[in-house]
Amino acid sequence: MQSVMKIYIGFLTEAEPLYVNALVLRRRLLGEEHPDVAISYNNLAGLYYSQGRYTEAEPLYIKALELRQRLLGEEHPDVATSYNNLAGLYKSQGRYTEAEPLYIKALELSRRLLGDEHPDIATSYNNLAVLYNSQGRYTEAEPLYIKALELSRRLLGEEHPNVAISYNNLAGLYYSQGRYTEAEPLYIKALEIAERSLGENHPNTITFRETLQLLRDNYT
């Protein structure tokens, strides 16, 4: 039986020519200056990003961003999405000083366009918190993780998989600081929600279970 990872990699390999063909066809039929072309640039970049092909993904994310800014204007949700995507790429490469202003722009733009009570705002809080956490900037990351968690709980309900992720992320921050007694109940909540909403064998559930056990092995 093939492993899940091998199947996933196979799907990505099969997807590439389809994304490329879609981009070529849209450029030919719609011209370069069309929002759907930006979507194709973004999709192909996302594929390369998921494969770790960062040098190929970067110019495509930049093209998508620039095209959206030109066609849609700066005040558009798709522009915020492009800021987030490019920032995520830079974060994955350890280019934190380049990622931070993009994440901040995405957050500010999303708040202006969507208001503070929107799931995308929780995602933006979380993205910026993850960046700060990666840099060891724990005091800056903590309030953002808390905001993301509170907003997700309020908008999505306690039993949503995204809420489980927020609990897990905040727990991970506390774990990194050695605040094990604060981390453990959050890991437990994340695991319980994931088991109920995703099932016991979902990858997220397995990860939460393993992380909780790792914490217990380290401090008990």
Asked whether residue 162 is assigned to any structural domain, the reply reads: no
Q: Which of 214, 169, 177, 173 has its CA nearest to residue 194?
A: 169
Q: What is this structure's pTM?
A: 0.88
Residue 183 domain-assigned (yes or no): no
Which pLDDT does position 219 carry in this prediction?
81
Q: What average pLDDT does range 158-175 have in this prediction?
A: 96
In a domain, 51, yes or no: yes
Residue 45 lies in a domain: yes
Mean pLDDT of 23-49: 96
CATH number of the domain bearing residue 34: 1.25.40
Polymer length in residues for the chain: 220
Q: Which domain holds residue 46?
A: 9-72
Residue 13 has a pLDDT of 72
Q: What is the per-residue pLDDT across 83-122, written as a single tens digit (0 to 9) for each?
A: 999 999 999 999 999 999 999 999 999 999 999 999 999 9
